[in-house]
Each structure stands twice: as C-alpha cells, then as structure tokens.
Structure 1
C-alpha cells in the first residue's frame, strides 16, 4: 500500500543521516527506489501505457530530499531534465508533496555538461506551464507550491521549479483511492505539458535554438558526435522553420527602415549582409537575425564578422527576438517578436565566443 510506504519514509526522514550505508537510509532507498515505483506503476500505466516510475535516495550519500517520480522516458530521461510528477519528501519528515515540476538543470553545449537553471528562468517556466494548463481547462482551484523542503541547492530548486503540488502531512495520509486519484489527475496535467512542449521551440533559460544547432553541427563536422547529450532534444529547428523565422525577421527589419525613409534592398542571398540601405548621403549595411529566444545570443559567420568590421560605422544589427513559431500546420508560420536595432554596430572581441576553429594540418615528414 502506497500510504504505508509514504508514512515509513517520513519516519525515516526524521532520523535522516548523510550515510547511505546506515540501516535507516538503506531502507529509505529501498522504499523510494523500488517499492514506491512498483506500487504506483499500475496508476502510471492508467495515465499512459508508455510511462515509467523510478526513485532515488541519493548517490554517494543519502540525499536531503528523497523522491519517486513518474515520467515519459523520452521527454524526461533523467530527473534533471524535462517535466514530470514526483513525490518529494521534506528533510524533516513532516510532509511529502506530490509535485508537478521540471528538471532544474540544463545542458550547456559549450561545456558539454549540465548547469543549474537560474531561479528567474525556473519561475518563468512555471508561469508558462500554469498558463498552458489553464488554457486546456484543467486548472485546479488554485496552484499550490511547496514552502520548504531543505537547505541545499537541489531542495531549493525543487521548491522554485514546482508548477503545482499536493501536500500530505505525516499524520494525515489520505486513502489509497485518493492517492490514486491524485496521481491520475497530476498525470493528466503532465500530458498537457508534454503536448505543449512538442509545439514550443524555446523555453526561458534554454540556449537559443540557433546556438544549439550551431554547436551540434560543429560537433558533427568535427566527428565528435559522442559529445552530444543522451536523451532529450537534439536539433531544435528544421530547415523550413529556420527559413520562416529568417524571412519574418527580414520583413520586420525592412518595414522598419522603409518607414524611416530608407530605400531597402534584400541582399542576403548573395552577400555577407542582409539589407543594403540608402538615404542620401548615407549607405548602411544591415545584418538581420531572427530568433524565438530572448535574443541574448546570435550566431555570426566569419564572413559576417569581417564584413561588418570593415564597414563600421556604416552598419547596423537588427535582432527580432521572441518570435512566435506556429508548427501546427503543414508549413511553419512565424509572427510577432520584438525588434532591437543597434546602429554603428561595433563587433568587439569580448562579445564573441568562438564556436569552432579551422586548423591547417602541418605536412608530416612521414605518411603512415
């Protein structure tokens, strides 16, 4: 019975140590990693036949907050990534929370490792999830959070990253039927998020899709496919989607400069700049970048950098960020976005991060 297992873990939490070999912590790991997943698996299957359940009492040392979660293995291959529903036990053993939440780390293509998401990004993602649930007509009476779980960073991240939680006090565990109903209800909310995620190109805190694509393309060109992260998303935009975003950004930039009295020529197909502007006595070379992200980073080619450094200060950068990409139809449609214009665009070295290097291999005295 799940209720008895929840009560047992909370009692073990009240005597928690950091040593996994301690008898109490060994038992705690047995419950959250094996017995609780087995108990809820039939309920998980009721929500979606392909979903799984797993848990953790800690790796190397006993964790402050043990957990058992239900999830889609393709969309959330690990607890640090994606959306899932999870039982989170507070560090004091006073309560357990059934939480709809997100992984609190993100993959960094530069370091080839996971890094913690900022609290502000987690909160923006929570807001997105709550709006999606509300739009689907499944909003609970109120979105409840978790006030406290523990003091370490993971525990604080769980609190910040929670979309909605149900609290079970140690002395008030509900009936088995109610526990099952709560799992099914939270699972239905999770299904809504998974469906919406498939249509969403960018989440706050993620690297821009263009940056991810560029880094992964460089890895593949260099033969370093082993550096690609396992599970989760790979390339974020296909060719049609990139083209829709690019055309929309150029269209927005063209209108902006024509409204300002410039004649505008689209030169992106044949030159290392996108627009050539003329208004006596001025000629301007304009680079246009469109993105579904917040526009904090864009990808530049070597030719673009060299051209705009040569023609500074008669140049400009236009970034159209936060573009909305509709993937629901046969052809992707880009719309909206915020336009940022940087005149006299000075590309300084400290603003550039190299994505790759071309290396001339020296001639060897001996060929093997």
Structure 2
C-alpha cells in the first residue's frame, strides 16, 4: 500500500475484522483450549496469502509447558481407564520406551501411543521419529488413543486436567495418515 493511500484506508473496518478473527482464539484460551494443528495451519496460510495482515503470522497460541504436562497426565489417565474398562491389563512404559502403554488382553499384547489435546478434535498429531518407526515396524500390533477435549484448571500456577474424550484406533496404520516433517536435525559435517 502506498503512503498516499493511507487516508483512504478504512481502519475502523480493519480493526473490526481483526476483532472478529481474534474472538475465537480468546474464547478458546478462556476455557483452557489450544488451537488444533488445522487451526494453526489456517492462520499460517492466511499469513502467506495476506502478508500485510500480521494476525495470521503470530505464534504462541499454544499452551505453556506446565499446561501441556497437565494435558499429557490427564490423557494418560483417561487412556488407562479406557483400556481397563474394555478388559486390558495395562502397564505404563512411557518412561522407558517410545510408546506409552503395553496392554494385554487374552494373551495378545499391543503397544499403545497416547496423544492428548484440549481441542475438541485432533485432525493432526505430533509424533517423534521413534514413534513413527515403532508403528511402522509393529504394524497391526499397535494402537493409538487420542484424548480430546481435555479441560485445564489453573490454581496458583499449577495446572490440572479434567474431562477427555477417547478415540481408539486399534491396529492403527501410521502410513494411512499424511505425514509431513515439522523439524530437522541439522549437523555440521566433521572436518578431517
């Protein structure tokens, strides 16, 4: 936009549009929700299509580390309760393996990955390279549990989670989902 065009710009209209875009974000944050990956991608696409509109390029709409930890704890609790309710014996392996639970029913063991979110629906999840490799190598002997709609409560800087809806994908095939790299490890070559 040229400097001479500024007088013709309807700033009231632009501010109103900005307020309409921010309202769902503020509302979601007020009830302890984060934006889904799809929401974040939509904001990033909007920033590319409208480079002068800085609303879409803002980062940091996600949860803090303590809030994410509370979502993870609650998701693990909900997933374990769910597995036990359908008859599985459950062992937490999250501290020592690239999967969260080993679950056994009728002599059959499966490795279960748990992903949690405060969003009402998880269209995309983040997985480590080790998690993806496990689901590929053990295809048919793994499961994915997505716990959505986890609600957060904060008291004096400490977070706790409640609620949560389970989506159970037994025999999950990771290669049926679209995969896109989100980070790379870049290593300097060794000088000899």
TM-based fold match above 0.5: yes
Q: 1:197 to 1:235 in 2, by over 3 A?
A: closer
Could you tell me which residue of structure 2 aligns to residue 304 of structure 1?
Answer: 131
Cα distance, 1:258 vs. partner? Answer: 0.6
Could you tell me which residue of structure 2 aligns to residue 282 of structure 1?
Answer: 108
Q: 1:309 to 1:199 in 2, by over 3 A?
A: same
Instruction: Give the SS at the match of 1:102.
Output: helix
Could you tell me which residue of structure 2 aligns to residue 136 of structure 1?
Answer: none
Cα distance, 1:326 vs. partner? Answer: 1.9
Is residue 2:181 matched to residue 1:237? no
Is residue 2:12 matched to residue 1:68? yes
Task: Select between 342-351 and 239-248 the one with higher mean Cα deviation.
Answer: 342-351
Is residue 2:21 matched to residue 1:103? yes
Query: What 5-or-longer segments of structure 2 have no aligned partner?
Result: 45-54
Cα distance, 1:330 vs. partner? Answer: 3.3
Could you tell me which residue of structure 2 aligns to residue 140 of structure 1?
Answer: none
Q: 1:231 to 1:341 in 2, by over 3 A?
A: closer
CA distance in 1, matches of 2:136, 2:146: 18
Structure whose alpha-carbon radius of gyration is higher = 1
Q: 1:260 aligns with which of 72, 86, 93?
A: 86
User: Residues 292-343 of structure 1, C-alpha deviation per residue, up to 9 Å, x if partnerless?
Assistant: 1221111100111111211111110000012111235431121112210111
Count residues in correspondence.
177
Could you tell me which residue of structure 2 aligns to residue 335 of structure 1?
Answer: 162
CA distance in 1, matches of 2:40, 2:18: 23
Could you tell me which residue of structure 2 aligns to residue 352 of structure 1?
Answer: 179
- Given that 2:110 and 2:142 are in contact with CA atoms closer than 8 Å, whether structure 1 keeps it comes out as yes
Residue pairs, 1:157-236, within 5 angstroms: 197=29, 200-203=32-35, 206-207=39-40, 232-234=58-60, 236=62
- Given that 1:286 and 1:317 are in contact with CA atoms closer than 8 Å, whether structure 2 keeps it comes out as yes
CA distance in 2, matches of 1:335, 1:305: 28
Q: 1:295 aligns with which of 122, 129, 140?
A: 122
Q: 1:280 to 1:249 in 2, by over 3 A?
A: same
- Given that 2:34 and 2:61 are in contact with CA atoms closer than 8 Å, whether structure 1 keeps it comes out as no
CA distance in 2, matches of 1:20, 1:100: 21
Q: 1:231 to 1:199 in 2, by over 3 A?
A: farther
CA distance in 1, matches of 2:177, 2:29: 34
Instruction: Give the SS at the match of 2:83.
Output: helix
Scaled by the length of structure 2, what TM-score is found?
A: 0.74
- Given that 1:322 and 1:338 are in contact with CA atoms closer than 8 Å, whether structure 2 keeps it comes out as yes
Scaled by the length of structure 1, what TM-score is found?
A: 0.41
- Given that 2:35 and 2:62 are in contact with CA atoms closer than 8 Å, whether structure 1 keeps it comes out as no
- Given that 2:78 and 2:164 are in contact with CA atoms closer than 8 Å, whether structure 1 keeps it comes out as no
Is residue 2:150 matched to residue 1:314? no
Q: 1:312 to 1:260 in 2, by over 3 A?
A: same
